[in-house]
């Protein structure tokens, strides 16, 4: 490590070199010299000759601190007083320090004392040699080194990183394309953008062949990432979606597929990432999807908007737009409780939609009001009245709210709906009884599990019986585990038996 090369004294070496391990950077040891007395001039002078610019720049900064002068002033003196035959390391250090600060070398050295103009002139005179030195680092073994070199070279030349990368490819074989692609990806991550956006913003007709070479590299990387988008573990799928961010528009296909994920958090992440890839604010991207009128298209974008500032206005505005179909408006109402804005005024804004002509809007209103019922006792009757709604979607929503609030006193009403003509209602009633049911409801659930023609209803009944328990429930679950034609019903029944203490 550089510390061992530049710190000769064994006692001092033992004291400061361990900072590299805790600091995690090649130049971490330099900061440990601050409290050393007398000032370790030899180590600092030696560090200025290091092959890594970070060590050289750290030594200048530390030396300046120990001398009580400014970093830029000491840097300018080093550049200006170096013999012209050996000033490249000093000039490269100045160029990279300036680029890291987001400035040109001239501006960076402008206020660096009397030697500033001379140092800036030296750096300008060494422009071609500095460019060549940084281009060499574009192909270094360490990916972070490549990314930093590309970023600094772009800043030094006053060009975009994508332009510098494309120009460098002109003199490099295709076998090095993956290295260039990796450097550009590191820059994109640093700039909080994507390689797709960097390349598309810089693309010229004459760049087509080189851009296609980079796209080929990124396509292979995306191909390798796709399996992670379909694994069973939700956290791994979320991680994979977030990993697509650095590709931007190039990952559109993968992001659009993730919008249909079974998990809401994955869909939400995909929507946010896709909006970034399109160069749009999330709200504008969401508005465009909502305007399609397709509930399946709009849903993940409504879900994503829940976390955004202005979510209440956006969702309520969607509900109020009667040109939109009921499923879209209903989804907006259903998601409203997840928005933290405007909770106090929400009941008054939502209540009128209990009488909306669209069933799914009424269902959404029931769910939205159910979330604030604890603060508004006068709304309790709205859920009970919704049980009498002619639309099964509304009745199912009311049952869902009752179950969420564990309204055990309404268990008998839920049990009566196990005989509904609508499978949606029967399934919702069974799910509600999982939370609200008592022993007296086992008979009706047992009948559902044995005779209902719809598998989803039987699954819900099995889950409820597994929660309520009792001999009759166990017998029904045992029979379903052995005889039901649907494998999912069998599985849920076996899980219910395990919950009741019957090992299979």
Distances (CA, A) of 420 to 219, 231, 433, 438: 52, 38, 15, 20
CB atoms under 10 Å from CB of 58, counted, come to: 24
Instruction: Say whether the peptide bond before residue 38 is cis (omega within 30 degrees of 0).
Output: yes
351-360 pLDDT per residue, tens: 999 999 999 9
Torsional sign, CA 140, 145, 150, 153 = negative
Do 197 and 218 form a contact (C-beta atoms < 8 A)?
Answer: no
Q: In 3D, which of 21, 181, 162, 154 has the Cα closest to residue 98? A: 154
Give 341's DSSP letter: T
Least confident of 146-160, 256-270, 291-305, 386-400: 146-160
pTM for the model: 0.81
pLDDT exceeds cutoff 90 at 18: no
Mean pLDDT of 201-219: 94
The neighbour count for residue 277, using CB atoms within 10 Å, is: 22
Q: Please, what is the angle between helix 208-225 and helix 177-190, to 10°?
A: 80
Tokens of 63: 């030396």
Which two tokens mark 306? 């829940």
The predicted model gives 156-180 an average pLDDT of: 91
Q: Where does 226-263 have alpha helices with state H?
A: 234-243, 252-258
Q: Which of the residue ranges 236-245, 265-274, 436-445, 495-504 would you say has the lowest mean pLDDT?
A: 495-504
Per-residue confidence band for 85, with pLDDT thresholds at 50, 70 and 90: confident
- 367-419 pLDDT, tens digit each: 998 887 666 666 668 888 999 999 999 999 999 999 988 888 889 999 999 99
pLDDT at 21 over 60: no
**Cβ atoms of residues 363 and 355 within 8 Å:** no
Q: Which of 6-20, 101-115, 260-274, 449-463 comes out lowest in average pLDDT?
A: 6-20
DSSP state of 204: -
**CB-based contacts of 103, cutoff 8 Å, min separation 6:** 155
> In this structure, what token pair is assigned to residue 6?
């530049």
Q: CA 415: distance to chain centroid?
A: 43
Question: Quick one: pLDDT at residue 253?
Answer: 96
Q: How far apart are CA 80 and CA 116, in angstroms?
A: 8
* Residues whose CB is less than 8 angstroms from the CB of residue 78 and which lie 6 or more positions away in sequence, other chains included: 48, 60, 90, 93
Q: pLDDT per residue over 431-448, tens digit each?
A: 999 999 999 999 999 999
CA atoms within 13 A on the CB side of 281: 6
For the chain, give the percent of residues with pLDDT over 70: 94
Show the tokens assigned to 391.
Answer: 């639309």
Whether pLDDT at 163 is above 70: yes
């Amino acid at each position: 490590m550089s510390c061992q090369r530049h710190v000769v004294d064994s006692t001092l070496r033992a004291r400061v070199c361990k900072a590299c391990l805790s600091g995690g950077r090649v130049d971490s040891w330099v900061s440990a010299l601050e409290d050393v007395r007398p000032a370790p001039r030899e180590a600092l002078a030696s560090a200025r000759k290091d092959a890594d610019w970070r060590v050289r720049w750290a030594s200048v900064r530390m030396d300046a601190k120990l001398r009580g002068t400014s970093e830029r002033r000491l840097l300018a003196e080093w550049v200006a007083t170096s013999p012209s035959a050996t000033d490249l390391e000093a000039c490269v250090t100045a160029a990279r320090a300036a680029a890291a600060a987001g400035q040109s070398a001239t501006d960076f050295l402008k206020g660096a004392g009397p030697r500033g103009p001379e140092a800036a002139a030296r750096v300008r005179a060494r422009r071609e040699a500095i460019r060549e030195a940084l281009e060499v680092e574009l192909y270094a073994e360490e990916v972070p080194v490549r990314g930093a070199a590309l970023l600094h070279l772009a800043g030094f030349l006053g060009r975009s990183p994508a332009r510098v990368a494309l120009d460098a490819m002109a003199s490099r074989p295709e076998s090095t394309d993956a290295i260039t692609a990796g450097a550009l990806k590191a820059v994109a991550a640093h700039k909080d953008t994507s390689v797709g956006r960097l390349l598309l913003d810089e693309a010229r007709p004459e760049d087509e062949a080189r851009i296609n070479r980079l796209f080929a590299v990124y396509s292979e990387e995306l191909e390798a990432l796709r399996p992670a988008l379909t694994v069973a573990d939700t956290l791994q799928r979320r991680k994979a979606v977030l990993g697509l961010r650095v590709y931007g528009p190039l990952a559109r296909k993968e992001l659009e597929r993730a919008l249909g994920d079974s998990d809401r958090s994955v869909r939400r992440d995909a929507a946010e990432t896709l909006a970034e890839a399109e160069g749009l604010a999330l709200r504008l991207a969401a508005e465009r999807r909502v305007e399609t009128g397709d509930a399946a298209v709009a849903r993940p974008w409504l879900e994503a908007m829940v976390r955004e500032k202005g979510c209440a206005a956006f969702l309520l505005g969607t509900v109020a737009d009667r040109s939109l179909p009921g499923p879209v408006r209903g989804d907006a109402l259903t998601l409203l409780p997840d928005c933290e804005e405007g909770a106090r005024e929400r009941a008054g804004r939502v209540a009128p939609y209990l009488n909306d002509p669209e069933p799914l809007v009424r269902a959404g209103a029931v769910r939205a009001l159910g979330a604030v019922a604890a603060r508004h006792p006068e709304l309790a009757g709205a859920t009970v009245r919704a049980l009498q709604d002619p639309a099964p979607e509304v009745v199912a929503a009311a049952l869902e709210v009752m179950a969420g609030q564990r309204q055990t006193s309404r268990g008998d009403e839920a049990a009566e709906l196990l005989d509904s003509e609508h499978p949606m209602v029967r399934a919702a009633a069974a799910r509600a009884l999982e939370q609200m049911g008592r022993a007296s409801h086992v008979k009706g659930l047992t009948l559902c599990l044995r005779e209902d023609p719809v598998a989803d209803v039987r699954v819900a009944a099995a889950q409820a019986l597994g929660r309520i328990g009792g001999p009759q429930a166990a017998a029904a679950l045992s029979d379903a585990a052995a005889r039901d034609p649907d494998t999912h019903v069998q599985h849920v029944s076996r899980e219910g038996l395990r919950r009741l203490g019957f090992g299979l």
